Amino acid sequence: MPRAVHVLALGIFAMVTSEFVVAGLMPQMAEGLDATVPQIGYLITAFAVAMAAGGPVLTVALMKFPPRTALMVLFALFLAGNVLAATATGYGVMLAARIITGAASQAFFGVGISMCAQLTRPEVRGRAIAVAMNGLMLGTLLGLPIATLVGEHFGWRAAFWVITLITVVAAVATLIGVDHVERPGGGGGFRDQAGVFRRPRLWLALSTSTLVIGATFSAFSYFNPILTDVTGFSPGTVPVLLLAYGAATVVGNTVVGRFADGHTALVLAVGLVLNALFLTGFALLAGLPVPAVVCMMGIGLAGVTMNPAMVTRVHRAGNAGPLVNTVHSSFITLGVILGSSIGAVVIDVWGLRAPLWLGAVMALAGLAGVLPDLVRRPPRATGLASGRPRPAEQSGSV
């Protein structure tokens, strides 16, 4: 595995830590910015919307740059956004900062994952993506608790300064540890990369990713109230359980990465079936502590950990270019938005177990989107074995 893949994981870790930091510091930020807690909650929504809408636009703007140069520009934008957040004197400035960092982080995902695909042999790309995605898993596992801890002891601004420091370290590591890579064949322009969006298989893969992530986040967004109000755990126990959940995602991501290349559709199908079963079990057994925790760990193992297989499927349906990867990340973000927002609606109607049932339904809907590929089961292209890129990848790689 090239050293650059591990370095890119560090950059993703910084982005994810920034994404989630507001969720852990809402009361302190509300007081410091003279805002209400719901208004601080809108900062999370603004970040997600900036990711989904602004990320692809920023990727297109950087398409003519070599990959490493594009990454450094995105680091600079992300760094500026975090410094602006750390020094924000009012709510409007903080909102602008979150929009900047949201768009930059989404574009970074797209360019970074595309670079992973270019730097590795086709037969190990799924594993490489899993290594890079460990930055996402570790950002959830360690980044959020660390940022929250720093914010609680030294103030919410200190949390953003810590993220700024991590970003500087990641940028320097990228400058040193990621080799300059030219765009092969002159690089696929916007028309080449956008042309693949005429393929129905690509849209099916993208929408399936939305459902995979939406199924998980419909539950994850409400783990805290479910575990305390339904299962009966004390508030002090929940962070420990969430830490265990995060550890499960790291394990699951590594396992999925091992099989994502050779058995993409099967991995997705098995993951969705398991996730639906664990979500259903959690909904039925949420009142029993041990089964509830087992089901929560299962969701960690089979939920967001499908990322390497989802990315591999999208690459094969479209290409490995940055535009496809960024749009795919936008569809994943859409899953987060849909899962959490619809989950809030069903809670009001049917109670705290309802998001778990919603997640099970979304997982089964995602399974329906995988079945065509599972039935088709096309043989792996010879280029995957020989190291030659597939035609779709030649036209769109960074």
- CATH number for the domain including 107? 1.20.1250.20
pLDDT at 378: 52
Range of the domain at 168: 1-182
Neighbours of 200 (CB within 10 A): 9
Average pLDDT in the 321-349 region? 90
pLDDT at 381 over 80: no
d(CA 269, CA 201): 16
Letter for the amino acid at 351? G
Same domain assignment for residues 80 and 125:
yes
pTM, rounded to two decimals: 0.83
Same domain assignment for residues 385 and 363:
yes
pLDDT at 107 over 50: yes
Domain end among 163, 182, 201: 182
Q: For 297-306, how does the pLDDT look when each residue is reduced to its tens digit (9 = 90+)?
A: 999 999 999 9
pLDDT at 377: 56
Average pLDDT in the 125-129 region? 84
pLDDT at 274: 98
Average pLDDT in the 98-127 region? 88
Listed ranges 177-186, 337-346, 378-387; the one with the highest mean pLDDT: 337-346
pLDDT at 395: 35
Average pLDDT in the 276-285 region? 98
Phi, psi for residue 354 in degrees, rounded to 5: -60, -40
pLDDT at 129: 87
Same domain assignment for residues 292 and 314:
yes
Average pLDDT in the 223-231 region? 91
pLDDT at 383: 39
pLDDT at 52 over 50: yes
Residue 175 in domain: yes
pLDDT at 181: 62
Residue 187 in domain: no
Same domain assignment for residues 130 and 261:
no
pLDDT at 128: 87
Same domain assignment for residues 90 and 165:
yes
Average pLDDT in the 121-133 region? 83
Domain end among 131, 155, 182: 182
**Residue 248 C-alpha from the chain's centroid:** 16
Average pLDDT in the 238-257 region? 90
> Which tokens hold the place of 53?
């809408």
Same domain assignment for residues 290 and 203:
yes
Q: For 53-88, how does the pLDDT look when each residue is reduced to its tens digit (9 = 90+)?
A: 899 999 889 988 888 899 999 999 999 999 999 999
Domain end among 182, 206, 223: 182
pLDDT at 45: 80
Same domain assignment for residues 40 and 168:
yes
d(CA 209, CA 201): 12
Residue 131 in domain: yes
pLDDT at 2: 82
Phi, psi for residue 261 in degrees, rounded to 5: -75, -50
Same domain assignment for residues 261 and 374:
yes
pLDDT at 270 over 90: yes
Rg from Cα positions in the chain = 20
Give the residue with greater pLDDT, 279 vs 394.
279
Computed over every residue of the chain, the mean pLDDT equals: 86
Same domain assignment for residues 8 and 133:
yes
Average pLDDT in the 382-388 region? 38
Q: Which residues contact 369 (CB under 8 A, 6 or more apart)?
A: 204, 205, 207, 208, 211
> Which tokens hold the place of 258?
């091992």
Same domain assignment for residues 202 and 349:
yes
Q: Percent of the chain at pLDDT above 70? A: 92
Same domain assignment for residues 132 and 202:
no
pLDDT at 182: 57
pLDDT at 188: 56
Q: For 146-199, how does the pLDDT look when each residue is reduced to its tens digit (9 = 90+)?
A: 877 888 789 999 999 999 999 999 999 999 988 766 554 334 567 777 889 999
Domain count, the chain: 2
Q: What is the 3-state secondary structure (H, E, C) of the chain?
A: CCHHHHHHHHHHHHHHHHHHHHHHCHHHHHHHCCCCHHHHHHHHHHHHHHHHHHHHHHHHHCCCCCHHHHHHHHHHHHHHHHHHHHCCCCHHHHHHHHHHHHHHHHHHHHHHHHHHHHHCCHHHHHHHHHHHHHHHHHHHHHHHHHHHHHHHHHCHHHHHHHHHHHHHHHHHHHHHHCCCCCCHHHCCCHHHHHHHHHCHHHHHHHHHHHHHHHHHHHHHCCHHHHHHHHHCCCCCCHHHHHHHHHHHHHHHHHHHHHHCCCCHHHHHHHHHHHHHHHHHHHHHHCCCHHHHHHHHHHHHHHCHHHHHHHHHHHHHHCCCCHHHHHHHHHHHHHHHHHHHHHHHHHHHHHCCCHHHHHHHHHHHHHHHHHHHHHHHCCCCCHHHHHCCCCHHHHHHCC
C-alpha distance from residue 165 to each of 15, 21, 286 (Å)? 12, 14, 40
Average pLDDT in the 242-257 region? 91
> Which tokens hold the place of 271?
């993951």
Instruction: Give the length of the chain.
Output: 398
